[in-house]
Amino acid sequence: MDFFLNTAWVIAALPLAVSALIAMFAGVLRDRAWVPGTLGMLITFLWSVGVLAAVIAHPAHGGEVLYSTVPAWQASFEWVSIGPYVLRMGFQVDNLTALMLPMISLVSFCVQYYSSAYMHGDKRIPRFYAALNLFTAAMLVLVMADNLFLLLVAWEIMGLCSYLLIGHWYEQAWPRYGQIKAFLTTRVGDIGMMVGIFIIFFAARDLSWAGLAEKVPHLVQDPAMASLLALGAFLLFTGAIGKSAQFPLHTWLPDAMAGPTPGSAIIHAATMVAAGVYLVGRAFMIYGHVPAWVLVVITFVGAFTSLFAASIATLRWDIKEVLAYSTISQLGYMIMAMGLGGWAAGNFHLLTHAFFKALLFLAAGSVIHAHHHNQLLHKMGGLRKKIPITFWTWMVGYAALAGLPGFSGFFSKDELLLAAWGWHNPLVATWPMWLQKLPFAMALTTAFLTAYYMTRATYLAFFGEPRDLHLYEQAHESPRAMTIPLVILAIPAALYGWLGTPLFYHFTHADWMLFIPNFLHLPGLEHHVEFSTELMVTGMATAAALIGIFLGWYLYAAVRPETRAAWIARLRPVYTLIRNKYYVDEFYDLIAVRTTQAVSQAIAWFDLYVVDGLVNLAGTLSVYASEAAAWFDKHVVDALVNMWADIARGLGAAFRRLSTGYVQQYMFTFLVMLVASVVLVQVIR
């Protein structure tokens, strides 16, 4: 077992090496680039399982709760010295890391194997697989990093990889737009994150997780230092807002659908968007001790985003767009849980969500592949008969996301709702009860909407009569390379949640996976939920899901389209608002894009007519001045010089005529000059 711990670095190094290999030998590999990518990721997954088993068996970690700052394995080196301070770079494996590694590598393996069929015939397959493996390697480095700086490096590499994957088909306008939008929007959060890291380093003189866990509890005893750390923690959270697509930086994620569906699956499930939630969870040794307002902000950002995005998903017609807004909503759930102090609940949902959301995206890709690349739900219908494997695996993901009892999403979602019901934060203790319960109400409403929009999408795609007979008749089940990953992912999507149940502990005594005492025991955040309260919350969550399922089925299976259109007409203002995604993109277009364009046009006008005008004026004046100087030089300076030359020449000629060689002529000339001199002297007197 120690072998896997001591070689845990291989988990990140292998996909990085595979990415470089594919990039270097792209011309040789061509369509076969999936072979090293998939094989390398399979080895990475098996190695991750070995590391997980080693952590379970580790004598220092068996029986510990999930939240631990003491790693089972760590390796680091001195990177740079700044005066008396030393920055170290390294990897660590603790309980949370050990759980994340198999999830990331399994999802990536399924995506890469799936892509061997989905991307068949694409002219840039090596480029796609190189980016996919680099993307996975960056996420693995991020979860293994033992300090904030290395996490930031991996964070930025993922930003680059998402840019490459979203814009894979860059000949088309939408992928180009989507990749630029994603890159620029996430950069807004990244700038805040970098400033936050600088502030945290300034305050703690340390960026390692172990060092921060040791120093932060003491630093916050000083009010000024506590306020400084709170600012740093909030700015760090802005990075998570961008990367995990939280309001108001959520707008990039739906446009990320412009890339290939397998790329969308890994972005939405196991890598980029999960990184923001992981950051908040990993940095909880800071968030759990800084002033309480930071966690309150995190709570309401997550709760609002979850409800906001879920409402938008109810009216989307593109199957991938429904899943995109679903991802934003579920990420809001996780962020809300972190703010509530439900650290284990948030991480639990992060893990379960990765499996069922990857399953849903790949199943959606299978639907699109079977339906000749049609993504619009209103053109589908009745596909369960044509693509049964895709249908049944989709139903597993649907049940997990909708929160049906027994599936993984049911268990993790209930833990989120329990965290919301039992919210204990010293800042909100004096608030009215309705305000204290507002996150719970928003989360419960989100559970209802989630069940509704997933039922709507499921019915429109797989049930009812075909709405486009031509597409329906040509529909066919996807090849095995696409359906096998669906079956693999359906297993954890259905069963992973059982790992968090008391029944599992009773039979396995696996206390190391104690997700569900659930809440971190940090000052001001301790709270315990009675069994009766747990039953009540579970009952409300299940009821909300069942009502959402019934309403979604009723509106699209029982209600005639004409009746549904009449109801929409009555609610036209609300319908229009939600259908247009609350006009957030239009608002940004007005405030950011058009304002920037107006400012840039004003600057261009100023540059053209003022700066360039002054420069051109100066140039024109210089030309005129040089022409005047040339005229003066030619007609004045040269004239004077030439005049004196002419005078000298004339005098020389005159004197030359006097030089005859006759003495009498010289005497005559001398007498004339003498007389002239005497006369001149007399005149002057």
Of 515, 542, 570, which residue sits at a domain end? 570
Weakest mean pLDDT among 76-85, 210-219, 234-243: 76-85
Contact yes or no for 250/189 (Cβ under 8 A):
no
Residues 649 and 611 in one domain: yes
Residues 321 and 430 in one domain: yes
The tens digit of pLDDT for each residue in 641-669 reads 888 888 888 887 777 776 667 777 778 77
The larger pLDDT score, comparing residue 133 to residue 1, is at 133
Q: What pTM was computed for the model? A: 0.86
Of 540, 570, 600, which residue sits at a domain end? 570
Of 570, 599, 621, which residue sits at a domain end? 570
The tens digit of pLDDT for each residue in 30-75 reads 889 999 999 999 999 999 999 988 887 765 544 443 444 567 788 8
Residues 560 and 604 in one domain: no
Domain that holds residue 630: 585-684
Domains held by the chain: number: 2
Residues 543 and 620 in one domain: no
Quick one: pLDDT at residue 680? 84
Residues 411 and 484 in one domain: yes
pLDDT at 2 over 60: yes
- Is 304 a domain residue? yes
- Is 218 a domain residue? no
Residues 461 and 605 in one domain: no
Residues 618 and 512 in one domain: no
Contact yes or no for 454/325 (Cβ under 8 A):
no
- Is 364 a domain residue? yes
Residue in 144, 135, 248 with CA at minimum distance from that of residue 188: 248
User: Residue 82 is inside which H or E element, if any?
Assistant: strand 73-82
The tens digit of pLDDT for each residue in 474-508 reads 888 999 999 999 999 999 999 988 876 654 444 44
Assess whether the previous peptide bond of 260 is cis (omega < 30° from 0): no
Quick one: pLDDT at residue 499? 78
Residues 542 and 611 in one domain: no
- Is 133 a domain residue? no
Residues 428 and 364 in one domain: yes
pLDDT at 198 over 70: yes
The tens digit of pLDDT for each residue in 602-633 reads 999 999 999 998 999 999 999 999 999 999 98
The residue type found at 199 is I
Q: Count CB atoms within 10 A of the CB of residue 122.
A: 15
- Is 191 a domain residue? no
Helices (H), 167-314: 173-204, 209-219, 223-243, 252-255, 261-269, 272-282, 284-287, 293-313
Residues 507 and 650 in one domain: no
- Is 59 a domain residue? no
Residues 666 and 563 in one domain: no
Residues 533 and 417 in one domain: yes
Spatial neighbors of 658 by CB under 8 A, at least 6 apart, are 665, 669
- Is 161 a domain residue? no
- Is 338 a domain residue? yes
The tens digit of pLDDT for each residue in 135-145 reads 999 999 999 99
Average pLDDT over residues 230-255: 94
Q: What does the longest C-alpha to C-alpha distance in the chain come to?
A: 150
